[in-house]
Structure formats: C-alpha cells, structure tokens
C-alpha cells in the first residue's frame, strides 16, 4: 500500500522551535565551534530557562502564602520546591541574573579577594549551584561555557530568553526535542547514536500502549523512548510521573547526561545508569530478568567483537539469554533476547532492528525459531529507507507481547509493510505524520481485537482505516462509499469525537482483515515453511494493480543473493567433507 503525505516543510517555518534553532545555529556558524561542542551547552541553556520558569511560578505561590501568614517566607528553602516536584534555582543561578550579567564580566569577592568573573565562568558556576541544590541532577549539567566568547554567550542567552516563561512545560520539552533532532542531523553518525526520530518512537509507543508500569530502555541514548511514553500517558489524561517508573542504561557518559536532562525538562525522573564502562551486554544494573512491563529500544545494529565468554553463565531459562548465544560475530540476537528476557508475564516490547535479523541463518535462525515458538512475537513492521538521520537503509520494528500465548492470536504473527507510507521531509529524509502513526497502530489494535484509538491521528487516520478495513457484515468498499457521501455533503470533522455519526459507527464495528500489500496475520506453520523468517515481504505480498517497485526488487534480490551465498557456502563445506571422506576410503 502506498500513502505518501505532502511535505509540510514550509508550514513549520514560523514555529518557535524553528526560529530558535535558526538563531542558535547562526550563532554557532559564526563561532568556530563544532556542533558537538555547541550542542550540550545550548541544551543546558534551554533546560535552565525551563527550570527557572517553573521555579518562578512556585516562588510566587510561596511569596503569596508568606504575605498572609505569620510563618516566615520559604522562598529560599529548597525543600519547599522539591515537595512540589520543582527544581530549586539558587540566587546567582537564575536566568534573568545571567541574562543581565555584563558581557565583559565583573569583579567579585572570592575568599576575601577581588576576582574577575567572566560570563562563561558565571554560567558554569550557576550550573554547579543548581546541581548542588538538586541532588538528582548531580553531574548532569554542562559546564563548558568558557569555550564560548562572551559576545556569543550573551547572544545565546538573548535568543533563549525569547522562549516565553509562561508556556506550558511540554512546550519546553518539544523545543528540547527539536534541538536534539537538529543536532543529531548535524552530527551525522554520532547523532544517530543518541537520537531516534520521533515518528519512529511514536509508533513504537502507540503499539505498546505504556499506560502504567515499569519501563526499560537498555540502550537509552538521549531518552526519547521515555519522553514519548510519558507523552502517551499525558494524552490519555494521566500523570506520567506517577504512572511510569523509568529505568535506562547508556554506555556513553555524555549521552546519559543528555538523557537525564531530557527527563528533567519534561518533569520526569528516572534511574539512568551511564558511563563508567557500563555496558548492557555484560552488565545488568537493573536486574532486568522478568521485571519490566515495557521495553523500548533502538540498539546499535550488527555490533561485532562482543566477548561471549563473559556471557556463558547468563544463558538458559529465566536468564538474560534464554535461547542461547549466537555463534556468529553479531550482537543483534543478544539484544533481541535481552528485550524478551526483561519482560514480565504480561510485558510488551517494541524495538528497532536491522533487516538482516529477520532472515539470519544458522544459530540465529535457531534462536529466532525458539522465540517464535514461545508465542511472544506479536507484530513485525517493515520500515522504508531514509527514516533515520544517519543511514538510508530500511529497517524493521519488532513487537513482543508475553501475554499473547493465552490469546486467540497465539499461533499467528502480524506482518505490516509500511515501506511506502511516509512523508518526504527533504531529499534525504522521511518521517510519518500523526495520521500515518495512528493508522498503523490501529491496524495492530484491530488485530488484537481492541477498539481503535485515534488520540493520535484523529479523523484522517480514522477515515483511512475505515476506507481499507471491513466492518462486521460490510466490505471496505461499502465503508468507503458511505464516507465519501459524508465528505461530499461537506460535514467537517477533525477527530473521532467530532466525526460524523456514520464514521463513528464504522469505526466501532471495524474488524481486522488481511490486506494484500499492507498486512497479513501469518500462522506459525506458514512461518516455519519460510525458514522462520520474520521478513514482512515474504507474507504481505503486493496489492492488486500494484507492481513491485525498483526498491522492492532490489531488496528482494539482496535477500535472494544472501540466501544463495549461504547455500553456496554450505555446498562448498559439504563438497570438502565428501572429498575428504572419499580420500579416506580410497586410502584404506
């Protein structure tokens, strides 16, 4: 199925985050600093603006209470802020004080002596003071502002000050996320190591539906999986800070700090283990086995040189690698088993995986067979190229559900081909619109026998779903004609709640069906005949009237070539064995 949304590149030009980025990037371009040097200090500045806005609101409340009470003011008492989940910003570290700090610095008293304090030093001192007053931020905030010349730092403060202090907390979060994404794109391969595009994360979250419980990302990068999970909870009228318990692991220390900062900007806290040579292959700081309700991740693909000797005592049932260690020098199936092992009996997992893992042979195929036969593999989504900033190759999204074994869909796996559903952002990048994400997630909900949810995607996603899937006793074409009649009558509808009555009726009675070129629920017996492949292309097929694209043909050819190479290698090995046996017989 093909659904290409028009680009909205121009529509975003006037957004606050876009204007801020353009201003900040222009300053960087004239500074001589690299994106890597510039990114964390800028993100730290956005954080300070956010924290200061929250602090000011709480301070005003405390001042009002003090004016009507005999009790002295608590405006400088950190506990009065912490009790309400607000960070305390000490005097000298507040945003307006730094904004008004002289560009040329000023003389201050330190240890009884006069000392010249530059603007960069003042911002560094402010960050240290904030960490000291808020222990959960220890070691998180950037303190490298001395690399900025005073003029650049002053202009950056002015640019960040244009963020209205009155905007809602989630708006700060969106600005922070926007900057993360832009820095990731600018930094190329390094950026891809800490950032997963939001549309990919949103689809994973929509399919998992993390309403409540413990959530883990053992390769958490800058924390996007946590943030979007929290947003999902908030969109369903719950408080993410009380509904979700967040745990993460990040090998790169600087990236772990980015994650903790990202959580703080969104009003969240989590147990994020990072730095100090911590590594999810060898270390288990959260004692993950059988513990988590949700696992979300975008792990590094095709990592080699993992020391498997260090993992031998962690294999077997109820351990981190329950299906054994792959013999190949590739860590994909180590990650896949970690995600499975971390789930409790009702847990769900969603993660990004290299396409090659879906058809991998030999020991990886055996692990995949055991995984499929455990009935935990729920859905597989094929994703087209150019959805990531660092690689153009397509990938696959895998979804586990440990509770699936006790449901009517125990002996099936849902395959979705989303390679031709996208919005073209620019020549080299694509994403999904909210309607795309809502549509794809609701295919999974229909498959599970759940009611559709159009909180994300609204009327557009609902209409597309109703056009394609049948309702009880009706065909999809009948639904389509009914909706066309409504559209022709000019009935406006922006979301499901505002939808015309006949659309609501269609939505409430939709049922899952295999749609050639889009989705198919394949049985385990069918999957076995395909060599336990989890490649959606083997099952979904092509829609009537559509032709195999050059892109699809290339992918299919690569798969066939890979299979041919595997068979040729096996044939050569067999030929050598036969020759050796014949030689041995002739010698006797």
Whether 37 and 165 share a structural domain: yes
460-497 pLDDT tens trace: 999 999 999 988 666 655 555 555 555 555 444 334 44
d(CA 327, CA 480): 51
Q: CATH number, domain at 159?
A: 1.20.1260.30
Could you give the number of structural domains in the chain?
3
Whether 459 and 588 share a structural domain: no
Residue 532 lies in a domain: no
* Start-to-end CA span in the chain (Å): 64
Pull the structure tokens for residue 272. Answer: 């994020």
Whether 123 and 173 share a structural domain: yes
Whether 568 and 484 share a structural domain: no
HSE toward the beta carbon, residue 406, CA cutoff 13 A: 5
Whether 585 and 485 share a structural domain: no
Neighbours of 14 (CB within 10 A): 8
Residue 85 lies in a domain: yes
Q: What is the pLDDT along the chain (588 residues), one digit of tens a residue?
A: 889 988 764 444 457 888 888 888 888 887 888 887 888 899 999 999 989 998 999 999 998 887 776 666 789 999 999 888 889 999 999 999 999 999 999 988 877 888 899 999 999 999 999 999 999 899 999 999 999 999 999 999 999 999 888 776 567 777 888 888 888 777 655 544 557 889 999 999 999 999 999 999 999 998 999 999 999 999 999 999 899 999 999 998 988 998 998 898 888 889 999 988 899 999 999 999 999 999 999 999 999 999 999 999 999 999 999 999 999 999 999 999 999 999 999 999 999 999 999 999 999 999 999 999 999 999 999 999 999 866 778 999 999 999 999 999 999 999 999 999 999 988 888 999 999 999 999 999 999 999 999 999 999 999 999 999 988 666 655 555 555 555 555 444 334 444 455 677 778 889 999 999 999 999 999 999 999 999 999 999 887 666 655 655 666 676 666 667 767 877 888 888 898 888 888 887
On whether the CB atoms of residues 331 and 303 are closer than 8 A, the answer is yes
Residue 207 lies in a domain: no
Q: What is the extent of the structural domain holding 561?
A: 552-588
288-344 pLDDT tens trace: 999 999 999 999 999 999 999 999 999 999 999 999 999 999 999 999 999 999 999
Which of these three, 463, 480, 512, is where a domain ends? 512
Residue 540 lies in a domain: no
CB neighbours of 450 closer than 8 A, spacing ≥ 6? none
Whether 506 and 558 share a structural domain: no
Whether 103 and 166 share a structural domain: yes
Whether 108 and 36 share a structural domain: yes
Residue 491 lies in a domain: yes
Which of these three, 161, 177, 193, is where a domain ends? 177
Give the CA dihedral 35, 39, 42, 43, nearest 10 degrees.
Answer: 160
Measured CA distances, 242 to 168, 246, 382, 389 (Å): 19, 10, 34, 33
Whether 40 and 118 share a structural domain: yes
Which of these three, 177, 211, 243, is where a domain ends? 177
Beta bridge partners of 246: 215
Residue 112 lies in a domain: yes
Residue 64 lies in a domain: yes
| Strand positions, DSSP E, 243-376 | 244-250, 271-274, 292-297, 343-354
d(CA 51, CA 263): 12
Whether 505 and 560 share a structural domain: no
Whether 587 and 476 share a structural domain: no
Whether 503 and 565 share a structural domain: no
Residue 291 lies in a domain: no
pTM as predicted = 0.84
**DSSP structure class, residue 527:** H
Length of the chain in terms of residues written: 588
């Amino acid at each position: 199925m093909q659904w290409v949304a028009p680009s909205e590149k121009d529509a975003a030009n006037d957004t606050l985050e876009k204007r801020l980025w353009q201003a900040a990037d222009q300053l960087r371009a004239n500074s001589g600093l690299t994106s890597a040097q510039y990114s964390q200090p800028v993100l730290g500045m956005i954080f300070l603006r956010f924290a200061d806005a929250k602090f000011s609101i709480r301070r005003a409340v405390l001042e009002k209470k003090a004016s009507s009470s005999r009790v002295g003011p608590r405006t400088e008492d950190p506990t009065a802020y912490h009790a309400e989940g607000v960070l305390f910003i000490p005097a000298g570290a507040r945003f307006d004080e730094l904004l008004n700090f002289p560009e040329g610095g000023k003389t201050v008293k330190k240890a009884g002596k006069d000392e010249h304090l530059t603007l960069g030093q003042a911002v560094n001192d402010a960050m240290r003071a904030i960490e000291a007053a808020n222990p959960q931020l220890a070691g998180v905030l950037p303190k490298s502002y001395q690399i900025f010349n005073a003029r650049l730092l002053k202009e950056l403060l002015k640019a960040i000050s244009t963020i209205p202090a009155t905007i809602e907390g989630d708006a700060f979060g969106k600005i922070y996320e926007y900057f993360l994404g832009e820095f990731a794109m600018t930094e190329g391969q390094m950026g891809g190591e800490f950032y997963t595009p939001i549309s990919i994360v949103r689809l994973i979250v929509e399919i998992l539906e993390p309403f409540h419980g413990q959530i883990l990302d053992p390769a958490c990068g800058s924390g996007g999986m946590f943030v979007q999970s929290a947003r999902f909870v908030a969109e369903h009228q719950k408080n993410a800070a009380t509904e979700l318990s967040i745990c993460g692991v990040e090998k790169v220390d600087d990236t772990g700090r980015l994650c903790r900062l990202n959580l703080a900007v969104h009003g969240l806290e989590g147990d994020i283990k990072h730095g100090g040579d911590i590594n999810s292959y060898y270390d288990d700081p959260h004692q993950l086995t059988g513990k988590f309700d949700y696992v979300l991740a975008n792990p590094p693909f095709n990592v080699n040189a993992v020391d498997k000797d260090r993992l031998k005592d962690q294999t077997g049932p109820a351990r981190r690698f329950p299906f054994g260690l792959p013999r190949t020098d590739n860590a994909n199936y180590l990650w896949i088993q970690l995600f499975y092992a971390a789930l409790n009996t009702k847990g769900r997992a969603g993660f990004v995986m290299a396409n090659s893992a879906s058809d991998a042979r030999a020991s990886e195929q055996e692990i995949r067979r055991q995984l499929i036969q455990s009935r935990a593999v729920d859905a597989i989504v094929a994703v087209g190229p150019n959805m990531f900033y660092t690689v153009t190759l397509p990938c696959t999204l895998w979804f586990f559900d440990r509770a699936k074994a006790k449901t009517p869909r125990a002996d099936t796996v849902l395959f979705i081909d989303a390679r031709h559903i996208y919005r073209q952002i620019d020549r080299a990048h694509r994403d999904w619109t909210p309607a795309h994400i809502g549509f794809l997630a609701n295919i999974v909900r229909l498959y599970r026998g759940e009611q559709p949810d159009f909180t994300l995607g609204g009327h557009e996603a609902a209409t597309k779903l109703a056009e394609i899937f049948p309702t009880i006793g009706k065909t999809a074409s009948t639904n389509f004609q009914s909706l066309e009649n409504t559209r022709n009558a000019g009935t406006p509808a922006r979301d499901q709640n505002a939808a015309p009555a006949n659309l609501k009726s269609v939505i409430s009675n939709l049922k899952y069906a295999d749609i050639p070129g889009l989705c198919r629920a394949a049985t385990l017996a069918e999957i076995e005949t395909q060599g336990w492949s989890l490649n959606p292309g083997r099952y979904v097929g092509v829609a009537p009237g559509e032709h195999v694209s050059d892109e699809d043909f290339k992918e299919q050819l690569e798969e066939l070539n890979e299979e041919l190479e595997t068979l040729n290698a096996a044939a050569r090995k067999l030929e050598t064995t036969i020759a050796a046996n014949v030689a041995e017989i002739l010698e006797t």
